[in-house]
Amino acid sequence: MVWKLSTEEIFIFNLTVIAAWLLWTVLPLATQSTATMQQSQLDPCVSLVVTTQKMEQIMKTWFTIDGTLEPIDYDGPSYFRFPMELAEIVISRYSAPGDWVFDPFCGFGTTLVAAQKLDRQAIGFEKEIDHARFASSRVTPPNRVILDDIVHLSNYDLPQFNLLFTSPPYDTFRDWQTEGAAMYSNYMLDFHIIYSSIATVMQLSSKLILEMSNVRDPDRIRMIAWDATRVLSELFHFEGELVRCNSSKTCGVVWTPHLLFDLYGYC
Supply the CATH number for residue 242's domain.
3.40.50.150
Q: What global pTM score does this model have?
A: 0.72
Over the stretch 183-237, which tens digit does the pLDDT of each residue have? 677 888 888 999 999 999 999 989 999 988 888 878 888 788 888 899 999 999 9
In a domain, 88, yes or no: yes
- 35 and 74 share one domain: no
Closest by CA to 211, choosing from 247, 147, 257, is: 257
Could you tell me the pLDDT band of residue 102, with boundaries at 50, 70 and 90?
A: very high
- 119 and 239 share one domain: yes
- C-alpha 188/C-alpha 59 separation (Å) is 31
- 164 and 247 share one domain: yes
Could you tell me the pLDDT band of residue 256, with boundaries at 50, 70 and 90?
A: low
- 98 and 194 share one domain: yes
- 248 and 130 share one domain: yes
Residue 137: domain span: 61-262
In a domain, 2, yes or no: no
Strands 254-262 and 202-211: antiparallel
- 27 and 149 share one domain: no
- 109 and 196 share one domain: yes
Over the stretch 19-62, which tens digit does the pLDDT of each residue have? 554 455 444 444 444 444 344 343 333 333 333 443 343 345 77
Q: In the prediction, which pLDDT does 213 show?
A: 82
Taking residue 165's Cβ as centre, other Cβ atoms within 10 Å add up to 27
CB of 113 within 8 A of CB of 137?
Answer: no
How many domains is the chain partitioned into structurally? 2
In a domain, 50, yes or no: no
- 115 and 223 share one domain: yes
Query: Burial code of 66-98, b = ≥16 C-beta within 10 A, e = fewer?
Result: ebebeeeebeeebeebbbbbbbbbbbbebbeee
Q: E strands within 118-253?
A: 121-126, 144-147, 161-166, 202-211, 215-216, 221-222, 237-246
